[in-house]
Structure 1
């Protein structure tokens, strides 16, 4: 069985992992709170949320399978080496499960709050449909040969693809509106912290094992961090530089929404930045 060579690096890896978990988990709530305070989801791209749910669901399947299944773990070590540490930690599973729940709750907010003229695009629906149809095909391919590692790797690949795609609608929407109103920058700042900590955790494990298997053996986690960091920096650039908005009072008074001046969404409704 694989084991850590350095207790210090093992502790550091664990700390970084839980920092990533905390940052990524908390990152969902600024948007949820913003939606609640405004009683509106105008400015939040619905495609982003729908694609995000597929991304986190597939990532949960991968993480839970590799973390809990002894069969999948055995196949992983047979492929990458018996002395290799499984590249999925408890914080990965905890984050994925939490992410699915809060993303589903955000979809619930979209259903009950003011949406203006926004809706989920047909393109997004088509992408999600193709994604899950592909997952079903992978299941039937894996069944005869019991290729469970290959199957969960398919879900890992799916979450990487969804990670790349999910940010694009929001980035394009910000560009078209020349505004980030309605899209919480707090979400992005915490997401960036989580991505850096997640990448750091993988680097520490690789240093301890004197091997890069941790990166290419779990390429999904590697790409997840890199893609997230790239788009987070793009959103930060949009919010603070390109489409810098005027600050408004965000105190949760009963008439906050009706008194939000200056900034308007594409359909003419007032909104605020948090």
Structure 2
């Protein structure tokens, strides 16, 4: 999303490229809804890691700041062209801004569900609080550093770096939580399947363009983005392995009495869980 399209040599490949691109965009956008729906149906967020939510909200908020600033600000666009050349296209499109805004909204709705639904004894960890506080404090410091010299392009690059870091670490708490509980109950697999589809379609889109242009610069020219996408796909596959192979039928009782701090699975055969599968 948001990258300049090169001239095409093959119309079929161009059509395929666009199909893959829109499939990725729609998959990633829709991927936020299964978790929201699951929480609503269960009236519980037990099993959904709160550290993941906080880190994810930080990631998407930072990315929204980056996208919206570069897309709407003539000053930032001028600084971008001065640095990279006036022949270069701004690497943010309207759909990038729309996606980021939508992601922030849906993540905020999920956080609101944490406040109104049963959450057991789950809470945000001190580690997550420390990381998030340090990230936003650093961002504030960068604002004051950029202000005197009007280094706005550098400043928004800081927010882009934040979203990269958050993307790298955000899934770790949920993966550990699933492992310690021996269950994926409360964590929507629909979210993961759609995210994986989006990631695969994104790579397929890049491959189509590379084949048509006879160059693989899409992959090695932006190695950071390529590796970041691989990290997301790795965690998607890990969650699928946990859900379908490791813990296919294990459930945790979704009750305020559940002590997830102790990470002990509660499997009471005499009182089976009534919660629905993720």
Same-fold call, TM cutoff 0.5: yes
1-structure distance, mates of 2:198, 2:75: 30
The CA RMSD measured in Å over matched residues stands at 3.0
CA contact (8 A) 1:54 1:162 kept: yes
1-structure distance, mates of 2:219, 2:87: 12
Question: Is 1:177 paired with 2:181?
Answer: yes
Q: How many Å apart are 1:88 and its aligned residue?
A: 2.3
Question: Is 1:30 paired with 2:30?
Answer: no
Per the alignment, residue 71 of structure 2 pairs with 67
CA contact (8 A) 2:70 2:77 kept: yes
Q: Structure 1 length as normaliser, TM-score? A: 0.81
CA contact (8 A) 1:46 1:119 kept: yes
Change (3 A) 1:239 1:124: same
Per the alignment, residue 6 of structure 1 pairs with 8
Question: Is 1:196 paired with 2:195?
Answer: no
Q: How many Å apart are 1:214 and its aligned residue?
A: 8.7
Q: How many Å apart are 1:82 and its aligned residue?
A: 3.6
The runs of 5 or more residues in structure 2 that have no matched partner are 256-263
Q: Partner of 2:120: helix, strand, or coil?
A: coil
CA contact (8 A) 2:47 2:184 kept: yes
CA contact (8 A) 1:17 1:91 kept: no
Which of 121, 138, 141 is the matching residue for 2:145?
141
Change (3 A) 1:178 1:189: same
Aligned residues: 257
Per the alignment, residue 122 of structure 1 pairs with 126
Q: How many Å apart are 1:92 and its aligned residue?
A: 1.8
Q: Structure 2 length as normaliser, TM-score? A: 0.80
2-structure distance, mates of 1:86, 1:16: 22
Q: How many Å apart are 1:209 and its aligned residue?
A: 10
Q: How many Å apart are 1:79 and its aligned residue?
A: 3.2
Q: For each residue in 1:250-274, what CA deviation from the matched residue of structure 2 results, as whole angstroms up to 9, or x when unmatched?
A: xxxxxxx89xxxxxx8456823323
Q: How many Å apart are 1:124 and its aligned residue?
A: 1.0
